[in-house]
Structure 1
């Protein structure tokens, strides 16, 4: 069946919200997660409302044979300055389909997405936005149609339930843990930058511009002064060798209201493998529980030799992915030429 594609405008948002809520409720979690993560609001109205106001939005809708909206796709442009810490995780001239940015009809996911992506990506490529991202819930229902277009998993968004103190990890000899405050910004910033700089290596090969790393060193000044946030530094024999930093998580379709986000975690390479990360995380989890948080979220690169194995072993379960597609940089000129 041929899919008709038309622009998505303000008048179509209410129906797009209904379609999104229905699709997301079906795709949000694989069966293995339904026993531990309670259903929360899908937030389609909130998400599409924000998208509608985004500058430079490129959006379309798919119509069935009766002219009824059955799906939508919306991408926002990303333009990041070199000294923006966000440029450490995203290409500075790219496009993102965020949560709320697409819905698909059951049984025709790949066919409909293919038609919509062809329309939306045309302008993106014309603007030389050759790196495309999409946020999707974990599970084949959401990821398979994008994989058919050449998108691959890049970032993992995981959640872990925060419970009352149970069995604590074994202590590490000579290790001290202290709460960090505003005066610790140089130490926290240095370790955050070192963690990010490590993403330059195999197998991530993520560009980490020095201007972005410099911005990262100062990024957490407000968090260290905010009692709603928590940060701890591990030291041994007077040397600071690790840290962890938590901030309140913004609620979303895969983030419960009572969630705190693990923004940074670092252990000096020479001290890894001793259990320092587990001690730091246990300290952070105890604080999170005492402050009313019942979930903790974290994000990591799926290609990271360290993080991709470590965080799932700690107890984080994937609830969402950021998929990406990078088009050949030789694209240009008339269609079909390089």
Structure 2
């Protein structure tokens, strides 16, 4: 099947929003409460500078899908660069949707071909895609060379029920601004762990140093909360919560598990479960009804732990890393400089 691929503009938003609303509603069995509409999502994506966005029509002129890839440029010494490549691109939640009833990923392949040519010509060789937890959608991207990298889970916040078994000698106290050194140290150690197998995420020393002060404002914000677990006069763990705005996969009234850490010598004793139970109780009392958490799919600790304590996977982030031996200008061709007869600006290298 052939498709007419054109740069996506504001005039495509109504048709693209209809595709998104139908596809996302089906893949998630309903939009989360408070989530933005398709038109709101797409309007925000197209407003981002330098977004590579394309719209596809089939041979009969019917909408077949769209794709919007946003550039990601991060300073290497910032905490954000600890989980994403500093020069990459991301198809955010809502950044793509196929037409209903498509039996293969032909339209997605045509759209990604157009976007990827531009991204590679800009030397953006790491591509991410965010998806709701749908096996069908993920498989379409896996067929294009993407693999699972990160999970996003949600857990309902309920009234206090059965509490985890206690840990001998453990104390839990609320953290405040004066605890920034302890919170920062453990946040940096948590990030540093991701250098290990099987994650192998580059964690620069400068970015790890920035983690030590990342939560300066958070610890003073009444909407946020953190706790430190201690034993024998030493801090052995912590958890930190911060509110998360409603989005395509995040319901209204959600707080995110921004950080969670237990010292290696104390793991396996139940410290994490006690910290989480403390956080859940606070979240319920402050009218949060969901807790979100992110973890690397290849983490030997997190990949099994968070689902085991009650987080259900709601979304994925997939990634594709292209061979850096690709030559500048390698992506030249139909989609690099011209899309269906519509001129584009010359590509940088």
User: 1 CA distance for matches of 2:325 and 2:64?
Assistant: 35
Which of 289, 292, 300 is residue 294 of structure 1 equivalent to?
A: 289
Question: Relative to 1, partners in 2 of residues 1:334 and 1:290: Cα closer, same or farther, differing over 3 Å?
Answer: closer
Question: Which string of whole-angstrom CA distances, capped at 9 and with x for unpartnered residues, describes residues 129-163 of structure 1?
Answer: 00000000012122111011011110000000110
**Map of 1:36-55 to 2, 5 A cutoff?**
41=35, 43-55=37-49
Which of 79, 84, 87 is residue 85 of structure 1 equivalent to?
A: 79
Which of 133, 136, 139 is residue 138 of structure 1 equivalent to?
A: 133
Alignment match, 2:299: 304
Alignment match, 1:221: 216
Secondary structure at the aligned position of 2:18 is classed as: helix
Alignment match, 2:9: 9
Deviation at 1:203, TM superposition (A): 0.6
Deviation at 1:254, TM superposition (A): 1.1
Question: Relative to 1, partners in 2 of residues 1:77 and 1:218: Cα closer, same or farther, differing over 3 Å?
Answer: same
Q: Residue 164 of structure 1 contacts residue 286 of structure 1 at CA under 8 Å; is this kept in 2? A: yes
Alignment of 1:66 with 2:60, yes or no, is yes
Moved more, 316-325 or 206-215: 206-215
Deviation at 1:257, TM superposition (A): 0.4
State the superposition RMSD in angstroms.
1.6
User: 1 CA distance for matches of 2:126 and 2:168?
Assistant: 46
Q: TM-score, normalised by structure 1?
A: 0.95
User: 2 CA distance for matches of 1:86 and 1:10?
Assistant: 30
Alignment match, 1:101: 95
Alignment of 1:178 with 2:173, yes or no, is yes
Deviation at 1:333, TM superposition (A): 4.7
Alignment match, 1:147: 142
Deviation at 1:69, TM superposition (A): 2.4
User: 2 CA distance for matches of 1:43 and 1:88?
Assistant: 31
Question: Which string of whole-angstrom CA distances, capped at 9 and with x for unpartnered residues, describes residues 95-130 of structure 1?
Answer: 000011101123244111001000000010001100
User: 1 CA distance for matches of 2:117 and 2:191?
Assistant: 33
Secondary structure at the aligned position of 1:218 is classed as: coil
Q: Residue 7 of structure 2 contacts residue 55 of structure 2 at CA under 8 Å; is this kept in 1? A: yes
Alignment of 1:76 with 2:70, yes or no, is yes
User: 2 CA distance for matches of 1:157 and 1:248?
Assistant: 15
Alignment match, 1:328: 323
Q: Residue 32 of structure 2 contacts residue 250 of structure 2 at CA under 8 Å; is this kept in 1? A: no
User: 1 CA distance for matches of 2:56 and 2:36?
Assistant: 21
Alignment match, 1:26: 26
User: 2 CA distance for matches of 1:325 and 1:89?
Assistant: 14
User: 2 CA distance for matches of 1:259 and 1:135?
Assistant: 19
Alignment of 1:207 with 2:207, yes or no, is no
Secondary structure at the aligned position of 2:110 is classed as: helix
Question: Which string of whole-angstrom CA distances, capped at 9 and with x for unpartnered residues, describes residues 266-322 of structure 1?
Answer: 000001010000000000000000000111000000000000000000110100000
Q: Residue 151 of structure 2 contacts residue 313 of structure 2 at CA under 8 Å; is this kept in 1? A: yes
Q: Residue 159 of structure 1 contacts residue 319 of structure 1 at CA under 8 Å; is this kept in 2? A: yes
Q: Residue 60 of structure 1 contacts residue 74 of structure 1 at CA under 8 Å; is this kept in 2? A: yes
Deviation at 1:43, TM superposition (A): 2.7
Q: Residue 152 of structure 1 contacts residue 323 of structure 1 at CA under 8 Å; is this kept in 2? A: yes
5+ residue gaps, structure 1? none
User: 2 CA distance for matches of 1:84 and 1:334?
Assistant: 30
Q: Residue 5 of structure 1 contacts residue 60 of structure 1 at CA under 8 Å; is this kept in 2? A: yes
Deviation at 1:335, TM superposition (A): 4.0
Alignment of 1:114 with 2:109, yes or no, is yes
5+ residue gaps, structure 2? 333-349
User: 2 CA distance for matches of 1:58 and 1:336?
Assistant: 15
Equivalences, count: 331
User: 1 CA distance for matches of 2:195 and 2:71?
Assistant: 25
Which of 257, 264, 275 is residue 252 of structure 2 equivalent to?
A: 257
